[in-house]
């Protein structure tokens, strides 16, 4: 599959979230109770009028029986035995609130598809931003800091990582991260399986 489409704008995932909720026969109030957010907030997410934090989005896709890969999934099919995503044409998912500084952009390097074993993104984190609410899920994770510096916390053990540093941990351990520098940080991040 080749992907040479213009994706300058962030992904609009509201329709996918709404479809998953309706497929399960759930009301906004039921999903909100399970995820720990209001019905109104979920409505805004489904209508692409708000952005969820990484932790909220993780709880939401888990509640809906999905994973993050499905939010990036493209229905186009090709006969080629490879995928190519051109620089500047990566699907991008924004999470968090830019006003509070916790916004993260996930640039998808490998599009999601059934049976895929890897999830590969570049996490782009503004200075002071990050995923400050710890999350946990199945799998393992690997990261390589491309630019900037971040503090990675796994099970309350924090370590500062700089450009060129790499890390690995088991995903069921509570983990979070934040940009501790004064410039944008970029991390090549690999999850297997693509549960988040």
* Count of helix runs (H) and strand runs (E) in the chain: 5, 12
- Residues recorded for the chain: 196
Q: In this structure, is the dihedral angle defined by the CA atoms of residues 72, 78, 81 and 86, taken in order, positive or negative?
A: negative
pLDDT, residue 144, reads 98
pLDDT, residue 51, reads 83
Give dist(CA 140, CA 66) in Å, integer.
18
pLDDT, residue 7, reads 45
Q: Over its length of 196 residues, how does the chain's per-residue pLDDT go in tens digits?
A: 444 434 455 667 888 888 888 888 889 999 999 999 999 999 988 888 888 887 888 889 889 888 776 776 655 545 566 777 788 888 888 887 767 767 788 898 887 666 677 889 999 999 989 988 899 988 999 999 999 999 999 999 999 999 999 999 999 999 999 999 999 999 999 998 876 5
Q: In this structure, is the dihedral angle defined by the CA atoms of residues 86, 187, 108 and 9, taken in order, positive or negative?
A: negative
Give dist(CA 118, CA 96) in Å, integer.
24
């Amino acid at each position: 599959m080749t992907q040479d489409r213009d994706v300058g704008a962030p992904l609009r995932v509201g329709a996918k979230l709404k479809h998953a909720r309706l497929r399960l026969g759930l009301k906004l109030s039921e999903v909100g109770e399970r995820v720990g957010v209001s019905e109104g907030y979920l409505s805004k997410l489904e209508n692409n009028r708000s952005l969820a934090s990484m932790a909220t989005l993780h709880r939401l896709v888990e509640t809906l029986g999905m994973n993050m890969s499905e939010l990036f999934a493209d229905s186009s099919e090709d006969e080629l035995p490879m995928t190519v995503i051109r620089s500047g044409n990566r699907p991008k998912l924004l999470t968090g609130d830019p006003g509070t500084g916790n916004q993260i952009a996930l640039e998808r390097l490998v599009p999601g598809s059934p049976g895929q074993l890897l999830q590969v993104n570049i996490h782009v984190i503004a200075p002071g931003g990050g995923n400050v609410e710890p999350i946990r899920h199945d799998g393992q994770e690997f990261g390589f800091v491309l630019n900037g510096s971040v503090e990675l916390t796994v099970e309350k053990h924090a370590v500062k990582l700089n450009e060129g540093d790499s890390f690995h941990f088991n995903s069921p351990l509570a983990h979070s991260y934040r940009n501790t520098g004064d410039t944008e940080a970029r991390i090549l991040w690999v999850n297997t399986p693509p549960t988040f």
